[in-house]
Amino acid sequence: MNWTRALRRVVPPAFRRIDADMLEKLEERLILADFGVQASMRFVDLVEKAARKGTARDEAGLRRILRGAIRDVFDGDGGAGAADALTVAATPPTVYLVVGVNGVGKTTTIGKLAHLLGTRGRRVMVAAADTFRAGAVEQLERWAERAGADFIRGQPGGDPAAVAFDAIAAARARGTDTVLIDTAGRLHTHGGLMDELAKVDRVTARHHPGAPHETLLVLDATVGQNGLVQAREFSRYVTVTGIVLAKLDSTARGGIVVALREELGIPIRMVGTGERLEDLKPFDPDEFVEGVLAARG
């Protein structure tokens, strides 16, 4: 993924030495780049300390400190192998529940993920547990066809938890190793739908111990800091194990991955970079860091 277009420049242009004025500019840029206040202040502190100790003086020194500090935020995260780092069940099927507010890109992400896992030799079934919105089931069915995945639906307006239940049973019967469950767009202020989501989670776990093996929260990169609010709200109802950041092709707010990882402690698993089947990439912290340092915008 080419991050430079999805990021604003954080290294202040044309400064001679690290001093108070430059540190102030750096902090402002980090915050404007959506790194979040917490990480921005911590990074500025690190640079200031290094300058005081004499271990960083100029732009090269600043870049060295930033590179290390940003990389540390993602310490232990999957990198290029993140798609394979998604938990796999000891007893199939592996179940991934996909959640997020309306319009963030859940259904599209499921289509792309089904394709990606398919290319890694996994047999995938997608389950339309979004029984709330008209058209949602057909949209998912089209993605399943394109990805070459099995597809299962419920009754229109029916119980989403029943769809999850049926999908696991069908996957067992057919020997399908992976089930992706699409859920209705939750307005995070909509308590009823959130309770329904928690029920999908519970029924899945009861029917198949250990499931869901991942609960992936899809966030829309274009909304910036609002993603933090959504993540906190969803975490009250389900255990989010990973984030998929969609629509990175349409934003310069990619710095949000730092705020999400720093403030929530949830790994960024994948990034969405467009509307085609192949536009889902594992999040690679090294690529991200190099993008931050190269960003000019």
Ligand X SMILES: Nc1nc2c(ncn2[C@@H]2O[C@H](COP(=O)(O)OP(=O)(O)O)[C@@H](O)[C@H]2O)c(=O)[nH]1
Residues of the shown chain interacting with Mg ion in the complex, contacts defined by CB under 5 A: 106-107
Amino acid at 100: G
How far apart, in whole angstroms, are the C-alpha atoms of residue 72 and residue 77?
A: 10
Residues 29 and 275: beta-carbon distance below 8 Å: no
CB of 72 to ligand X, least distance (A): 27
| 228's tokens | 């933090």
Amino acid at 144: A
Least Cβ distance, residue 70 to ligand X (angstroms): 23
**Whether 35 contacts 74, CB under 8 Å:** no
What's the closest the beta carbon of residue 66 comes to Mg ion, in angstroms?
Answer: 37
* Comparison of 103 and 148: residue with beta carbon closer to ligand X: 103
In angstroms, rounded to a whole number, what is the distance separating the alpha carbons of residues 184 and 172?
Answer: 24
Catalog residues that contact ligand X under the rule CB under 6 A: 100, 102-108, 185, 246-247, 249-250, 272-275, 279
Q: CB nearer to ligand X: give 261 or 281.
A: 281
- Give the residue closest to ligand X by C-beta: 272
Q: Min. distance of Cβ 188 from ligand X in angstroms?
A: 13
Residues 6+ apart with CB under 8 A from 134: 156
**Rounded Cα gap, residues 6 and 247, in angstroms:** 10
d(CA 131, CA 176): 23
Whichever of 18 and 104 has its CB closer to ligand X, that residue is 104
CB of 107 to Mg ion, least distance (A): 3
Closest CB to Mg ion belongs to which residue? 107
CB nearer to Mg ion: give 131 or 176: 131
Nearest partner of 218 among 102, 106, 82, 130, judged by Cα:
106
Residue among 26 and 228 whose Cβ is closer to ligand X? 228
